[in-house]
Amino acid sequence: MQELQVKITQAQVEIVDREKFEQNINEVVTKYQNYTVTASTIKDDKQVLANLRKLDKQVSDERIRNKKLLSEPADEFDKYIKQAIQPLKDIIEKINEDVKEFENHQKIVRLDTVKAYISNKSAEYMLDPRVFDEKATEYIKASDFMADGMTLKKATMKSLDDMVTFEFQKQQEFEKVKSAISGLCAEYGMTDSPYIRMLRDLTLAEVFEQIKADYAFQKEKQELERARQELEQASQPKSTETPKFDPETGEILDSEQIPQNETKALREAENNSKRYTQKMTVEVYLVDTADKDHFKATLEQAGFVVKHNYKVSGYQRIEPLTQDELNEQNGW
């Protein structure tokens, strides 16, 4: 293939009366370098400025005209080369696209080969081969295959074998851990599902500790409930007994009521045994003060005592709202 060869004749540029041109410029500069603009001569000053600009423009125009003349051969040469070389560039682009398409096809073929090998190996251990789909893409380089591009190298096959074996061992170990959790939960009469999910963040020892702590809490809660029921039965007045009074309110209690101080003591005793692991912020909208008191009483009946296991961080009056207005305000 004949390479491009170019012969260049250097252009000669001659400035006529070069010394005289430079002398004229220097004379103008010398004449006006200390020029002062005044109010009385402003009209003449503007004319001087116009004349200087005219001189500068004439020199600049001549420079641009000659530069363009000098650039024309280079521009013509550049245009010619681009047109002449374009068919070659088209061929290069076509072959480049064909190479990319071939390489992409080879990657697909190699990936299918790797997945087929993993699938066969997974079947030996009764594993789902889809577990390895992401890892499979790490073994599709040309260096992982023999020269034919289709046969896996022995080193590659060993790496894939080790990967599948490791996954099998990991799953076996996980099943043992699940079985241990299920056994302990069965012993305590508890559901194992939430504790198995904890394995994503905790060790087996930590999960065991949580199970035992929850069991102890539930057992203590049951004992408190049994004590409360016994106290209720013991506090029920017989027909011959004098009616009981609530020492805080003075209210006469019926046979099924427990004094408020006894109920509160039970609630506090139950709460003291709890281990809190979560908290929640709630914004409540109330109709009036009675509604607020009813809400607090309902919480206390459910075991939530103010300043013991919940607090009120703010209370304020608001402009009355309908339910529709409240829904719109909160985006419900």
Length of the chain: 332
Q: Where are the alpha helices (DSSP H) in the chain?
A: 18-32, 42-125, 133-136, 154-188, 193-197, 204-235, 260-272, 289-301, 323-330
pLDDT-based confidence at residue 311 (cuts at 50, 70, 90): confident
Main-chain dihedrals φ then ψ at residue 145, nearest 5 degrees: -120, 160
Model confidence pLDDT, tens digit, residues 192-235: 999 999 988 889 999 999 999 999 998 899 888 888 888 888 87
- In the chain, the percentage of residues whose pLDDT exceeds 90 is 52
Is residue 10's pLDDT more than 60?
Answer: yes
Instruction: Express as a percent the part of the chain with pLDDT over 70.
Output: 88
Closest CA to 262 of 246, 250, 276, 281: 246
End-to-end Cα, the chain, rounded Å? 77
Q: Is 249 or 75 the better-scoring residue by pLDDT?
A: 75
Six-digit token pair at 156? 């590659």
Domain layout of the chain by residue ranges? 278-332
Say what the pTM is. 0.45
List residues bridging with 310 in a β-sheet.
306
What does the alpha-carbon distance between residue 236 and residue 167 come to, in Å, rounded to a whole number? 64
